[in-house]
Structure 1
Amino acid sequence: MSIEVSNESGIDVSENELISVARFVIAKMDVNPGAELSMVLLDTPAMADLHVRWMDLPGPTDVMSFPMDELEPGGRPDSPEPGPSMLGDIVLCPEFAAKQAETAGHSLGHELALLTVHGVLHLLGYDHAEPNEEKEMFALQRELLEEWVADQVASYHQDRQSEKDRRLLDKSQFFDHP
């Protein structure tokens, strides 16, 4: 899976965390592991410009998704087996997201992870224009984010335990020599 991040926002964010959450969602949604994704982080004026040009809505927004390849279950009967595809682009605005994070009472990293999940789901065809679509998409978004956070916590604890084990084994070498 190839995920490229281009940070043009001027705000320092963890690109590794964005890649981690995107990779997690793509894998959980059973997308071909060879799929490609591009993520761009923009400043507020650039995001406002995109928002007007593509959505005809004034002002900046938090996330926009631009799907590339049309994903159809099974594809056309005369097409070759489905393979890796370019999912599309997710555009995030960390400055806008920071304001939302403050209002919601969580970190910018959490907000950007949430927006990344949201963006990937849009690339996979989920929408929230209708109430039933919103309910489905937001429930899935919440579930995926919670699973990713739990996975991150488990990895952190495993890394800490591995480090403790390594230190203990290092100390035990003194018992091998008289």
Structure 2
Amino acid sequence: MSIELANESGVDVPTDLVLDAAKFAIARMDVHPGAELSVIFVDLDTMADLHMKWMDLPGPTDVMSFPMDELTPGAGRPDAAEPGPATLGDIVLCPEFAQAQAKEARHSFDHELAVLTVHGVLHLLGYDHADAEEEREMFGLQNAILGEWYDDRRNRDRAAHQSKRDEDLLRKIGFADVDED
């Protein structure tokens, strides 16, 4: 999976967190591992311009998604080859807007960026929230992915912590050069 990040916002953003959330969401949605994605962080003025140009809505917003390839699972001939990697498209995030939104919702900026990243990925995959039924489906899926992602991160952190403790213990008792599997 290839994810390109560009920060044109002037705001320091936790890019590792955004990459991790995007990779997890893409994998969870069973997208081909060779898929390509671009995530761009922009300032308020740029986001307001994009919002007006593409949605005909004034002012900035938190996230916009611009799909590239048409993803139609199950479409085509039964004897067609399996679909290969695709260019999913671009997710455009506005960190300044996200910071204000996180403060208003009383959660962290990191959490807000994770939510917006997963939200953007789902939009690229064709999910929307234009009506109540679509909204229930998309936000239910978004919340499930975020919950699984947080569980996965906790498990990875625990495993890394345990590995570090094991290495320290082995070093302490004289097995500093023990090969790891």
* TM-score of the aligned structures, taking structure 1 as reference length: 0.95
Structure 2 residue matching 1:59: 3-state secondary structure: coil
The two structures, once aligned, show a CA RMSD in angstroms of: 1.2
Q: 2:160 matched to 1:139?
A: no
Match of 1:119 in 2: 120
Structure 2 unmatched runs, 5+: 176-181
CA distance in 1, matches of 2:99, 2:80: 44
CA distance in 2, matches of 1:99, 1:34: 34
Q: What is the correspondence of 1:85-104 to structure 2 with a 5 Å cutoff?
A: 85-104=86-105
Q: CA deviation at 1:91?
A: 0.2
Aligned letter for 1:26? I
CA distance in 1, matches of 2:87, 2:14: 23
- Deviation string 1:64-94 (CA, Å, 9 cap, x unpaired) is 0000000011332286431100000000000
Structure 1 residue matching 2:174: 3-state secondary structure: helix
Q: 2:84 matched to 1:83?
A: yes
CA distance in 2, matches of 1:80, 1:68: 21
Counterpart contact for 1:90–1:120, Cα < 8 Å: yes
Match of 1:54 in 2: 54
Structure 1 segments of 4+ aligned residues over 4 angstroms from their partners: none
CA distance in 2, matches of 1:79, 1:69: 18
Aligned letter for 1:66? F
CA distance in 2, matches of 1:75, 1:22: 25
CA distance in 2, matches of 1:95, 1:72: 34
Match of 2:160 in 1: 159
CA distance in 2, matches of 1:9, 1:120: 20
Structure 2 residue matching 1:153: 3-state secondary structure: helix
Match of 1:12 in 2: 12
Structure 2 residue matching 1:88: 3-state secondary structure: strand
Q: CA deviation at 1:16?
A: 1.2
Q: 2:23 matched to 1:23?
A: yes
What is the percent sequence identity of the aligned residues?
61
* TM-score of the aligned structures, taking structure 2 as reference length: 0.93
Q: CA deviation at 1:150?
A: 1.1
Structure 1 unmatched runs, 5+: none
Aligned letter for 1:141? Q
CA distance in 2, matches of 1:126, 1:83: 21
Structure 1 residue matching 2:126: 3-state secondary structure: coil
Aligned letter for 1:98? Q
Q: CA deviation at 1:158?
A: 1.0
CA distance in 2, matches of 1:115, 1:101: 11
CA distance in 2, matches of 1:74, 1:68: 18
Counterpart contact for 1:75–1:82, Cα < 8 Å: no
